[in-house]
Structure 1
Amino acid sequence: MTYVRNCWYVAAWDSELARGQPMAMQVLSERIVLWRGDDGAIHALEDRCVHRMAPLSLGRCEGVNLRCMYHGLLFGPDGGVLEIPGQDKVPPQAKVRAYPVAVRHSWVWVWMGDPAQADEALIPPAVGYDDGRFILGHGHLDYAAQARLICDNLLDFSHLTYVHAASFQAGPTFAERLPEITPLERGVRFSRWSQNVPNIRDPNSAERFDNYMTYDFLLPGVLLMESASFMARTAAALEFGPPDFDTAIAGRNFTSQAVTPLTEGTARYFFNWGPHGDHGDEAMRDGMMQLAAMAFGEDKVMIEAQSRVIADSPGYAVMPTAHDRGVTLYNRIVERLAREEGGAGR
């Protein structure tokens, strides 16, 4: 499976990393140990001691350094061995790979490619639970499936009509109508208006809304979506262009989601979701997270089953439909950038 390596991948929620507690993680089948030093900074190294390949994630934090608790080698944040018990000289090859790390939008990001190209400007502009504008719940879900299948799912929302009939109750609209799709430099933008929609919170109300949703799906698998309800006929008045979200009259919310390939056949799906502070509160957030848990569970059942069928179907090919335009555009970006990396993507 092809993935771009010169990207920032989400490795953890910032809140998951307590000081003095190393955490093991895999990204693109590479074992990584993350830890927060006494200075509060987060570091990432290859999770494999140079001596006998014991996992450094079972190690002990000492200041900003990490000691292997098998035979005591002490590693600095740059991956170099600083100390070998009982040995004065540290050989120059005594080092492991260090990964560039950034903490932004409540996520810990790890750069998996060439460290010299690690540009924090390439971190997708997610909204974290520390943002202040939105009241967000957060979590993650592990999949026994390739990350690419989860990305494909998020790039084609027509499945809402069928997979999420019990949760989001999208109705036939998402399957019958195509969204507006705009290619971006490192992803794809989707947007759609739904006109004259009933008030789902009060089915007996005669009030009608125009609902708008838009999301960017950006490398290496990050979805950033905002949606809200507006006065009826807003879509036509704007000639179906994007609205000013500050003029929303109800339901403004945001979700940031990230798909991280752990191994060739497993992935971790990070997500947050909740209302804007002017459109909801903690109780609404909790209700939305309960709905999300139901919906994401529906996705997981389908995608893991799909993965098993694919594994048992050598020689079969996907047959694209009209809804696959966004999938195709995004995957072409992935394939092009992986080629430009000189075959390093996998």
Structure 2
Amino acid sequence: MTYVRNAWYVAGWAQELDTETPFAITILGERIVIWRTGSGSIHALEDRCVHRLAPLSLGRCEGERLRCMYHGLLFDPDGRVVEMPGQDKIPPRAQVRCYPVMERHSWIWVWMGDPALADEDLIPPAVGLDHPDYILGHGQLDYEAEARLINDNLLDFSHLTFVHANSFGSGPQFAASPARITPLDRGVRYQRWIENTRGSSSRASEEPMDSYMTYDFLIPGVLLMTGGVFPLGTAKELGHGVPDYDKAVSGVTFTSQAVTPMMDRTARYFFSWGPHRKHGDESARDILMKIAGQAFDEDKVMIEAQQKVINMTPDPQVMPSAHDRGVTLFNRLVEKLAKEERKTVHAADEVKLTVPQNG
């Protein structure tokens, strides 16, 4: 599967990273160790000692540095070995890869591409657990499936009618008509009004209302979704445009979700969800998270079963439907950006080959 490398990938929940306790994760097939120092700084290195290839995630934090606890090599945050017990001279090649890493929106983000291109402005604008306007729960799931399949699932909500009939209680509208899909520079935008509805299990209403939902799905695989329930007729009054959430009757929530490819055919799925403080409290959050737990388990069962079928199918091909516009636009964007990355790397390699060598 193709993935963009010049992007920020979610590695974990920031509040779950204990101080001076190395944490290991694999992203895009690369072993990474992340640690928070006593000063609060976060560092990320290749999780592989240069000496005997022991995992640095089993190491010991010493100030801003990390010591391999197999034979004692000490690494600076930039990946250079600064101490090798028993010898004074340290080989120039005694260095591991250093990854740009940031803490934002309650997530730890790791830049998997060219470090020189790491741009903090490209971190998707998720909503963190400490956001003053929302009361959020959170969780994560590990999948025995390609991250791409989870992305495709999140880009095509027509499955809500069928996969989530017992959890979200979604009606036939999601499968009956496509949503409005708009391309973005680094993703796609989904917008949908459902008129004259009493809502779903997460946005139930005693009388007919208009329900609105929208999300941005951004590189590398981050979903940011909000919506709410409005008085009947709001959709027509706005020409099915974007509503003013201050005029919502109920159901204003936010969810941030992120899909991180780990090894081949494995991925980690991070999610948070909860109500706006004007539309709910901790008990409402807990109800939403219970619904989400059931729904995300439904997705996991379906997607892992899908992966097994793909594994057993020679030259697997999909047949697009009317609901695949978001999937198609996003995957084309991934292919375009990945192709540009490969061209840049190839050009840089050619430049290196043309540099005269001494001797």
- Three-state SS of the structure 1 residue aligned to 2:254 is strand
**Within-5 A mapping of 1:203-222:** 207-222=207-222
Deviation for aligned residue 1:207: 2.2
Distance in 2, matches of 1:199 and 1:299, equals 21
Partner of 2:245: 245
Displaced runs of 4 or more, over 3 A: 199-206
Cα-to-partner distance string for 1:164-184 (whole Å, 9 max, x where unaligned):
011011011100011011100
TM-score, normalised with respect to structure 1: 0.97
Could you say if the C-alpha distance between residues 253 and 166 of structure 1 is closer, same or farther in structure 2, counting changes exceeding 3 Å? same
Distance in 2, matches of 1:324 and 1:205, equals 30
Structure 1 unaligned runs (5+)? none
Distance in 2, matches of 1:320 and 1:90, equals 56
Deviation for aligned residue 1:316: 3.2
Distance in 2, matches of 1:126 and 1:315, equals 37
**Residue type matched to 2:89 in 1?**
K
- Three-state SS of the structure 1 residue aligned to 2:342 is coil
Deviation for aligned residue 1:204: 11
**Residue type matched to 1:12 in 2?**
G
Partner of 1:75: 75
- Three-state SS of the structure 2 residue aligned to 1:212 is strand
TM-score, normalised with respect to structure 2: 0.94
Partner of 1:302: 302
Distance in 2, matches of 1:136 and 1:102, equals 21
- Three-state SS of the structure 2 residue aligned to 1:134 is coil
**Residue type matched to 1:66 in 2?**
L
Are residue 327 (structure 1) and residue 327 (structure 2) matched? yes
Cα-to-partner distance string for 1:105-150 (whole Å, 9 max, x where unaligned):
0000000000000000000011010111100001100000000000
Cα-to-partner distance string for 1:284-325 (whole Å, 9 max, x where unaligned):
101111110100000000000000000100123100000001
Could you say if the C-alpha distance between residues 276 and 89 of structure 1 is closer, same or farther in structure 2, counting changes exceeding 3 Å? same
Distance in 2, matches of 1:16 and 1:88, equals 38
Distance in 2, matches of 1:90 and 1:143, equals 41
Deviation for aligned residue 1:205: 7.3
**Residue type matched to 2:6 in 1?**
N
Partner of 1:58: 58
- Kept in 2, the 8 Å contact 1:5–1:344? The answer is no
Deviation for aligned residue 1:199: 5.8
Are residue 272 (structure 1) and residue 241 (structure 2) matched? no
**Residue type matched to 2:248 in 1?**
A
Could you say if the C-alpha distance between residues 166 and 342 of structure 1 is closer, same or farther in structure 2, counting changes exceeding 3 Å? same
- Kept in 1, the 8 Å contact 2:167–2:201? The answer is no
Distance in 2, matches of 1:245 and 1:88, equals 64
Distance in 1, matches of 2:74 and 2:107, equals 27
Partner of 2:175: 175
- Kept in 2, the 8 Å contact 1:136–1:274? The answer is yes
**Within-5 A mapping of 1:153-232:** 153-198=153-198, 207-232=207-232
Deviation for aligned residue 1:197: 1.3
Partner of 1:136: 136
Aligned length: 345
- Kept in 2, the 8 Å contact 1:5–1:112? The answer is yes
Distance in 2, matches of 1:202 and 1:100, equals 38
Partner of 1:119: 119
Cα-to-partner distance string for 1:269-295 (whole Å, 9 max, x where unaligned):
000000001100011101111110100
Could you say if the C-alpha distance between residues 203 and 64 of structure 1 is closer, same or farther in structure 2, counting changes exceeding 3 Å? closer
Deviation for aligned residue 1:206: 5.5
Could you say if the C-alpha distance between residues 5 and 171 of structure 1 is closer, same or farther in structure 2, counting changes exceeding 3 Å? same
- Three-state SS of the structure 2 residue aligned to 1:61 is strand
